């Protein structure tokens, strides 16, 4: 499932092939599918397939000077749709042969319709002549073509219906790509359901109600993409990148999902159910055991304190953060403020959002990262006037701080909103996607200008402005960390993007997921370099990427000199348990050994061996 421009939505699946034709009345045989284990937890529930929601867009008229803009949008949406259908074609191989034979010509027809077709020519014309928005023009033109097909003479009524349906299907795809409308069907998800989708965007994930939805399974997605991060943060068991899932799963099917093992079993048999129930009991016991750690300090055996903080993606996680015993928020991703809406939140709306979070956190430190728009997150809140990153490589384009420096009004507004509530707690401000030291200097200039303006206006600002830090999440930033350290007040190492950019592997792309490896020596060396640059200047440095929440990696991170980790709240108890079982000298020796290795597989083995040795003690 995809919900916004830049992603596809309901894939054209005219008929779902049965996993196995079942005898009437007979229980279908169990069908096991594996994917990427993204968020742990065992669930037995019923499938809720969300891939079939309609694309809706209200009628919209435009003024004559918006004609070219709408035409460009249409052209971009058509290109994107062609890319999506092309990608879908490459996926056909996972389907049974019969289904492939049926779908292939259909997808070819779709690709033709997304080229220089009557549909697109007609929509283009309507934009100019009738002054309609691109999505309205597409819908009108598609309906006119569908009606003309249905009115044609001939005996093959079924064929005519099918062709009209195909035109409407393409119009729906274009509409979804033209609008940033979130997927409505998430609203109707019944309690306890296992949500199945071809893809879930971060904006979709933000709409999930953790208390209601039992689990999520998707066909697409990678382990450290933002959707995965959000699912983990919300504590929703999830398996992503599960090939063949949407073709095999039907709404109402019973299923067992094991988010830790990356398994979805459709129509689970008695043995699977017995094992799952035993797993559920063990899960409850473990939760109770970890709960007891909450009030104990995060301290190594030799008495070194380690700061364990939480990452926050949406305010719904605040109760989980309190429950986990986090020492504040180490990374507040502010993108949630800009998601699932079609206009930008103004300064006052942002003030209210930050105030709510700061009040909930009391005097615990809160690191607020300014908007990191771009890359996978580039399609949210398509507001007028904001340059949405386009081009062949959005992740390498106008993302994060680059975009904010290009549109300083956005940054000024966000700085102002944060500064206005900074007196309520212990605030730090973090800049995403830094690559050049001067970007931090430029941001600081804006920051200080905004502070001066607010002071002139009589706002109560803290005497000393909150520290301004830099994310180290590109190889460039890591290698220039000593220079960036002269401009920034603290570092937060974003291992998710650092891994992606170092290894040239998209963090949400299933086809290259096997190459995404934070234990690659290149990534570790960059982390080491950046950490040492900060430590030399006695500057605070933390890890806030997904590595920070993996208990098995704690010895390595502590051994590299890190003493502050920020992670999704649900990981804190396990990470605390790891910290409390370690001795810093052992960690330092272990890190030296790891850093001598050149083979990522060997590093993974060493990590496993060390974790096993520590847990035996
Ligand atoms: C990272 O890149 O590691 C990070 C923490 O930022 P995000 O996951 O939000 O891109
Ligand atoms: Mg990042």
Taking the centre of ligand 1 as the mean of its atom positions, its distance from the CA of residue 462, in whole angstroms, is: 28
Q: Using an 8 Å Cβ cutoff, are 237 and 41 in contact?
A: yes
What are the respective helix, strand and coil percentages of the chain, to the nearest 5?
50, 15, 35
> 525 CA to middle of ligand 2, Å?
18
Residue of 242, 267, 520, 544 marked active site: 544
Q: Name, in order, each residue with C-beta under 8 angstroms of 271's C-beta and a sequence gap of 6 or more.
A: none
What is the distance between the alpha carbons of residues 212 and 192, in angstroms, rounded to a whole number? Answer: 6
Name the nearest CA neighbour of 251 among 36, 13, 23, 88. 13
Which residue owns the Cα nearest ligand 1 atom 4?
494
Q: What is the pLDDT, as a whole number, of residue 22? A: 40
242 is annotated as an active-site residue: no
**Residues forming a β-bridge with 567:** 310
pLDDT of residue 229: 84
Say which range, 74-88, 197-211, 546-560, has the weakest mean pLDDT.
197-211
Q: Looking at 52-56, 184-188, 450-454, which range is the least confident one?
A: 52-56
Mean pLDDT, residues 526-531 taken together = 98
For residues 231 and 209, the answer to whether their CB atoms sit within 8 Å is no
Strands 42-49 and 365-369: unpaired
Distance in Å, CA 331 to ligand 2 centroid: 10
Is the Cβ–Cβ distance between 133 and 60 less than 8 Å? Answer: yes
Please measure the distance between the N-terminal and C-terminal CA atoms of the chain and give it in whole angstroms. 46
Share of the chain above pLDDT 90, in %: 61
Range name among 156-165, 193-202, 473-482 with the lowest pLDDT average: 156-165
Q: Tell whether ligand 1 has an atom less than 6 A from the beta carbon of residue 37.
A: no
**11 within ligand 1 shell (Cβ under 6 A):** no
Residue whose CA is at the smallest distance from ligand 1 atom 3: 494
Place of tokens 């960690």: 587
The question of whether 267 is a catalytic residue gets the answer no
Report the pLDDT averaged over residues 123-147.
Answer: 95
Cβ contact 70:127 at 8 Å:
yes
Model confidence at 441: pLDDT above 80: yes
If you take atom 6 of ligand 1, which residue's CA is the nearest one? 494
- Number of residues assigned to the chain: 617
Pairing status of strand 36-39 against strand 329-333: unpaired
* Confidence grade of residue 6 (pLDDT, cut at 50, 70, 90): very low
Nearest CA to ligand 1 atom 1: 494
- Cβ contact 439:370 at 8 Å: no
Q: How many CA atoms within 13 Å lie on the side-chain side of 513?
A: 18
pLDDT at res. 490: 98
Half-sphere exposure of 294 (CA within 13 A, CB side): 13
157-178 vs 67-91: helix axis angle to the nearest 10?
Answer: 120
Q: What is the spatial distance between Cα 544 and Cα 534, in angstroms, rounded to a whole number?
A: 15
Mean pLDDT of 65-81: 92
Tell me, using a 6 A CB cutoff, whether residue 413 lines ligand 1.
no
| Range picked from 10-24, 130-144, 241-255, 389-403 for highest mean pLDDT | 130-144
């Amino acid at each position: 499932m995809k919900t916004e421009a830049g992603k596809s939505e309901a894939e054209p699946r005219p008929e779902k092939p049965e996993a196995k034709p079942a005898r009437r009345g007979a229980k279908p045989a169990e069908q096991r599918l594996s994917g990427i284990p993204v968020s742990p937890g065992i669930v037995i529930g019923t499938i809720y397939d969300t891939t079939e929601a309609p694309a809706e867009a209200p009628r919209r008229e435009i003024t004559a000077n918006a004609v070219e803009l709408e035409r460009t949008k249409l052209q971009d949406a058509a290109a994107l749709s062609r890319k999506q259908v092309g990608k879908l074609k490459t996926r056909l191989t996972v389907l049974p042969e019969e289904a492939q034979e049926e779908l292939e010509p259909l997808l070819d027809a779709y690709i033709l319709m997304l080229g220089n077709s009557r549909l697109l020519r007609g929509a283009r014309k309507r934009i100019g002549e009738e002054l309609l928005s691109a999505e309205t023009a597409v819908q009108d033109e598609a309906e006119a073509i569908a009606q003309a097909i249905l009115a044609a003479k001939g005996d093959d009524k079924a064929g005519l219906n099918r062709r009209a349906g195909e035109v409407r299907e393409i119009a729906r795809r274009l509409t979804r790509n033209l609008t940033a409308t979130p997927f409505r069907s998430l609203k109707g998800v019944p309690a306890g359901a296992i949500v199945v989708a071809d893809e879930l965007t971060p904006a979709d994930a933000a709409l999930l109600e953790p208390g209601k939805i039992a689990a999520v399974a998707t066909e697409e997605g990678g382990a450290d993409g933002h959707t995965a991060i959000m699912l983990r943060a919300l504590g929703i068991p999830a398996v992503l990148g599960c090939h063949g899932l949407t073709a095999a799963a039907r709404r109402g099917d019973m299923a067992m999902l094991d988010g830790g093992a990356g398994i979805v079993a459709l129509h689970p048999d008695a043995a699977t159910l017995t094992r799952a129930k035993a797993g559920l009991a063990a899960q409850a016991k473990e939760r109770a055991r970890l709960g007891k750690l909450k009030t104990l300090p995060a301290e190594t055996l030799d008495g070194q304190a380690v700061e364990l903080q939480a990452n926050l993606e949406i305010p719904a996680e605040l109760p989980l953060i309190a429950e986990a015993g986090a020492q504040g928020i180490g990374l507040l991703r502010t993108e949630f403020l800009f998601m699932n809406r079609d206009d930008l939140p103004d300064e006052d709306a942002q003030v209210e959002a930050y105030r709510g979070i700061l009040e909930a956190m009391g005097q615990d430190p809160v690191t607020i990262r300014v908007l990191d728009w771009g890359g996978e997150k580039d399609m949210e809140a398509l507001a007028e006037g904001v340059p949405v990153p386009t081009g062949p490589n959005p992740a390498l384009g106008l993302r994060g701080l680059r975009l904010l420096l290009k549109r300083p009004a956005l940054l000024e507004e966000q700085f102002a909103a944060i500064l206005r509530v900074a007196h309520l707690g212990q605030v730090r401000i973090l800049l995403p996607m830094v690559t050049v030291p001067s970007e931090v200097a430029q941001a600081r200039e804006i920051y200080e200008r905004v502070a001066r303006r607010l002071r002139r206006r009589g706002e109560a600002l803290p005497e000393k402005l909150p520290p301004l830090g830099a994310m180290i999440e590109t190889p460039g930033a890591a290698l220039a960390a000593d220079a960036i350290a002269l401009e920034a007040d603290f570092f937060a190492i974003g291992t998710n993007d650092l891994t992606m950019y170092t290894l040239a592997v998209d963090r949400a792309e299933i086809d290259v997921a096997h190459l995404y490896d934070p234990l690659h020596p290149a990534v570790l060396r960059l982390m080491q370099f950046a950490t040492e640059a900060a430590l030399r200047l006695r500057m605070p440095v933390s890890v806030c990427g997904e590595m920070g929440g993996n208990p098995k990696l704690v010895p390595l991170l502590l051994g590299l000199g890190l003493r502050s980790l920020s992670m999704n709240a649900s990981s804190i108890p396990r990470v605390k348990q790891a910290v409390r079982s370690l001795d810093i000298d052992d960690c330092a020796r272990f890190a030296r050994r790891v850093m001598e290795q050149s083979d990522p597989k060997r590093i993974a083995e060493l990590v496993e061996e060390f974790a096993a040795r520590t847990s035996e003690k």
